[in-house]
Structure 1
């Protein structure tokens, strides 16, 4: 069984904002923001809606990162 090291607290990822070099905050899986219940849905099923066509096959968890200084947003694929 594959699991995301960020979602499960096994690792942390330091990503610098490309605009202001501030450390960006990991806000979790992008699919958790789809609606009120998406965080409780099956993870593999939700990968069909995460915006990455290969995330299920490639065993990647798509995370949303946010810079509180300049409000830059980006998503990154995290290998499970």
Structure 2
């Protein structure tokens, strides 16, 4: 079984904003922002619904990174590990 270290608080996001170089914040799983009921769907099922089934096969978790200074955001791929 693999887990996402960001989701489980075992790692912190370490990414700089490409627009202003500020440290970006982890805003959680990107799939949670894709609809009203998205946070209530099982993670693996959400990956299939969201069209990112390939990320499920590769054991990846897609997170939203947000800059608190300039509001730039982007989805980042986090490799799940044991």
TM-score by length of 1: 0.89
In the alignment, is residue 55 of structure 1 matched against residue 62 of structure 2? Answer: no
Segments of structure 1 that go 5 or more residues without pairing to the other structure are: none
CA apart distance, 1:17: 0.3
Instruction: Please report the RMSD computed on the Cα atoms of aligned residues, expressed in angstroms.
Output: 1.4
Aligned with 2:77: secondary structure? strand
Q: Which runs of 4+ in 1 moved over 2 A?
A: 49-53
Which whole-Å CA distance do the structure 1 matches of 2:9 and 2:35 have between them? Answer: 23
- Tell me if structure 2 keeps the 8 A contact 1:31–1:49: no
The aligned runs of 1:27-42 (5 Å cut-off) are: 27-42=27-42
TM norm structure 2: 0.87
- Which blocks of at least 5 consecutive residues in structure 2 are unaligned? none
Q: Distance in 1 between matches of 2:48 and 2:64?
A: 16
